[in-house]
Structure 1
Amino acid sequence: MTERAAPKTILLVTGLSGAGKSTALNQLEDLGWETVDNLPIRLVGRLLKTPPAEGQERGDVPLALGFDSRTRGFAPEDLVDQVKKLQKAQDVTISTLFLDCQGAELGRRFAETRRPHPLALDRPAADGIAEERSLMEPLRRWADTVIDTTGLAVNDLKTLVRERFEEVQSRGTTLSVTSFGFSRGVPHNADLIFDLRFLRNPHWIDKLRPLTGLDAAVGDYVRADTDFDEAFAKIRELVLFLLPRYESEGKAYVNIAFGCTGGRHRSVFFAESFARMLQEEGYAPSIGHRNLASRPVDSLENFRDGDRAGSSLQEETI
């Protein structure tokens, strides 16, 4: 049997329960990494000598190992020592990704899934979260990369993992265009953010409120704003100036984000229009609308936040 070509890159993926380890491992697997979850670290050396599965490509496939407080024989200090010994004995580079999250958010996640915390099966989740945080602190301090997932949606975490751990082989810059609502937070993975709250707001038009920026009536309303064309042209000029320079510097990902208050009308239409322009310029952007499915809420659409619905809402007609 041909001996397996051992991976030269190993990523240890760990962190607090509920912080997103499974999501990170799934994304790494989608990127072509071999992933193994909850394998005792003492078995890693044996794993490296195991022949690949039938049909699996040989060669230097990066390996991601997931472990947490549930892993058999888990002891953070011992784990650090074992990894150091493994790194000296094998011709490999081992790094660590630690997924962190604030306690209140972890408590909310466990409550939503109705799952007990692994360290507090018969106690409140908050007890287990505090105990695990203390237990995992040595690994957090030792980790090469720490990602706080407190304010991240699943897709945001996947994007961060992809940006940091995908092996780029001269494929140029991957471009994405995102719409979002400021009332629901700024996207963590945005490189360029443009605030569109200076445009008049379709939310305050009764016929437009239930629609989105994907609907023609909303698009016509937003485009008719006297500031739309000039703003679009200026942003277009800036982005087309920057993109070649980002690419020449080897920047693998560029995410251009357009925000309005709720993330359903102005930002959606602007992002769609901007993505079409980029396609005409020879780029191939992906497009996502983070808050498209969010329900319209009047209290979020506050004039004082910079929204403009027009000089007289009562005079607007569609």
Structure 2
Amino acid sequence: MQLVVVTGLSGAGKSTALKALEDLGYFASDNLPPSLWPALTGELAASGVEKAALVVDSRAGRFLSQAPAALAQLGTGGVPTTLVFLEARPETLLRRYNLSRRAHPLGQGHLLREIERERELLAELRGLADWIIDTSDTSPGELADKLATLLGETRPFVLRLISFGFKWGPPQVADLLLDARALPNPHWVEELRPQTGLQQAVASYVFSAGDGYYQSLRRTVELAATAARDAGRSGYTVAVGCTGGRHRSVAVVERLARELAGNFEVEVEHRDVEKDG
């Protein structure tokens, strides 16, 4: 199996890195005592896990000193291990801590001294690192992209499209809610009412009044999803609603999925299409 160990200064982006690796399919664990790493990797390999990522830093306290020996044991045991060290300029770390209002793991009431003390504690691991990444001028998305590139991975971004009926309530997972009720309603056409937006006759009727409103919806989805991807997110969820969730919203989601498939990996869910009444 492939193991990535992430370490570095508090505030330099270790949580972001671990989440990015998790999104790439790595089994992720934060601050497990290093003496347990060989047993964990053996258990994961036996279970068929091919990629794992671990974080260790000053929060480990007295266990931190175990890390170099654990890395050596992994190497002797034939586990390919990549050590990534994240750091940033002191003024950047100060700003990030001031924004987050979190206490430093070595909290003594003087942040600059804590940052320098942490550098000293992690100096040995820094010297062992395969890659040292300065995140001072790096956004979370850029850090995720950099890790993916270094590891030879492709970061997935999934655009999730959900159709729903407002009468049943909007999906709680949506990043963006769109309203398809301005489009022609097949519910009032007797031969179309039993069908759904998955049928071509219903879709043709929904878009019979022209493309102006639909194109505004599509443009909104494209802009929002592109911005989310550029910001480093691994996915974005758009929910399109109509009254019952069987006709207009389904037709719109199906068309969006077809037309945006060239720009995004698209997943579709028709939440209420089977409901009646």
Residue 127 of structure 1: how far off its partner (Å): 1.2
| 1:113 pairs with 2:106 | no
Query: Is contact 2:87–2:134 with CA below 8 Å preserved after alignment?
Result: yes
Residue 72 of structure 1: how far off its partner (Å): 4.4
The 2-side partners of 1:285 and 1:139 are apart by 41
Residue identity matched to 1:91? G
- The match for 1:63 is 52
Residue 110 of structure 1: how far off its partner (Å): 0.5
- The match for 2:214 is none
- The match for 1:23 is 16
The residue correspondences of 1:39-188 to structure 2 (distance < 5 A) are 39-50=32-43, 58-76=47-65, 78-88=66-76, 90-119=77-106, 121-167=107-153
Structure 2, unmatched stretches of 5+, are 157-218, 221-229, 231-260, 265-277
* Higher share in helix: 2
Q: 1:157 to 1:47 in 2, by over 3 A?
A: same
The 2-side partners of 1:49 and 1:134 are apart by 31
- The match for 1:33 is 26
Residue identity matched to 1:14? T
Residue 108 of structure 1: how far off its partner (Å): 0.6
The 2-side partners of 1:72 and 1:140 are apart by 17
Normalised TM-score (structure 1): 0.47
Residue identity matched to 2:48? G
Cα shift readout 1:42-93 (whole Å, capped 9, x = no counterpart): 01122134369xxxx95342111111011143345x42133112321x2211
The 1-side partners of 2:50 and 2:44 are apart by 13
Residues paired across the two proteins, number: 167
Residue 9 of structure 1: how far off its partner (Å): 1.1
Residue identity matched to 1:142? L
Q: 1:284 to 1:98 in 2, by over 3 A?
A: farther
The 2-side partners of 1:100 and 1:51 are apart by 29
Q: 1:49 to 1:144 in 2, by over 3 A?
A: closer
Q: 1:167 to 1:58 in 2, by over 3 A?
A: farther
2:95 aligns to what SS in structure 1? helix
Cα shift readout 1:86-112 (whole Å, capped 9, x = no counterpart): 321x22111101111001100111111
Cα shift readout 1:116-157 (whole Å, capped 9, x = no counterpart): 1111x2412111101101221221121001111001111111
The 1-side partners of 2:4 and 2:39 are apart by 16
1:80 aligns to what SS in structure 2? helix
Residue 166 of structure 1: how far off its partner (Å): 4.8
2:43 aligns to what SS in structure 1? coil
Structure 1, unmatched stretches of 5+, are 1-7, 175-213, 216-254, 256-282, 287-318
Stretch deviating more after TM superposition (14-23 or 109-118): 109-118
Q: Percent identity?
A: 34
The 1-side partners of 2:70 and 2:44 are apart by 23
Normalised TM-score (structure 2): 0.53
Please give the root-mean-square deviation of Cα atoms over the aligned residues, in Å: 3.2
Query: Is contact 1:40–1:72 with CA below 8 Å preserved after alignment?
Result: no
